[in-house]
Amino acid sequence: MAREPTAPDAELVEGARLGDAGAFDALVRRYARAAFAVALTATHDDQDAEDVCQDAFVRALERLEECRRPSQFAGWLLAIVRHRAQNVRRREQVRRAAPLERTVMANGDSPARDAERSELRARLTQALGTLATGECEVVLLHDLEGRTHGEIAEALGISEVSSRQRLFQARRRLREQLQDLAPGRTADD
């Protein structure tokens, strides 16, 4: 049964608990990108983050009865994602090399342009890796996902003020680390 895309989380969780696969599918669609952003924050690797997300959604489905506050499903799910990602990171700490870039020659892009994008991505990933986990999660959820501070606060179990502070601090640190990419600008701009 297809669920209304705007149905509240609590309704979808209850439907999934009753065996409605469409309800859980709606939750997956709603939170897949946020889960990926949180997983990527911890793993710093696209493929590991994808694996973490799949594993976390399976775990969430298996343990859906343990979600005590269905209206706060997002926070519960993202806690599972963080936990699974930390496990992967611990297990993979030996693997410190940057991931190979998946290069696709499309739209007439040149190898030089692809190399430039690859270098930019590596610099950004490295800069994100220097942030505290909470800061990185807020940056990715706000700037990549377009989530509001209220949504971020609920998902991460923090206040909106804390979300805003973390975003401010993270952006300042990122500007400091990446200032050479914008000629003529300083970290204070």
Domains in the chain, ordered, with CATH?
1-93 (1.10.1740.10), 107-189 (1.10.10.10)
CA distance 145 to 178: 21
- CA-based radius of gyration for the chain: 18
Residue 118 CA to residue 109 CA, distance in Å, equals 13
% the chain with pLDDT above 90: 39
So what's the pLDDT on residue 93?
60
**Residue 77: exposed, middle, or buried by beta-carbon count in 10 A (0-12, 13-18, 19+)?**
buried
**CA distance readout (Å), 164 to 51, 158, 167, 171:** 29, 10, 5, 11
| Confidence (pLDDT) at 16 | 94
Predicted pLDDT of residue 118? 79
Predicted confidence band of residue 177 (pLDDT cuts 50, 70, 90):
confident
Rounded distance between C-alpha atoms, residue 8 and residue 48, angstroms: 30
pTM, two decimal places: 0.59
In this predicted structure, the answer to whether residue 155 has a pLDDT above a threshold of 60 is yes
- Arithmetic mean of pLDDT, 151-161: 87
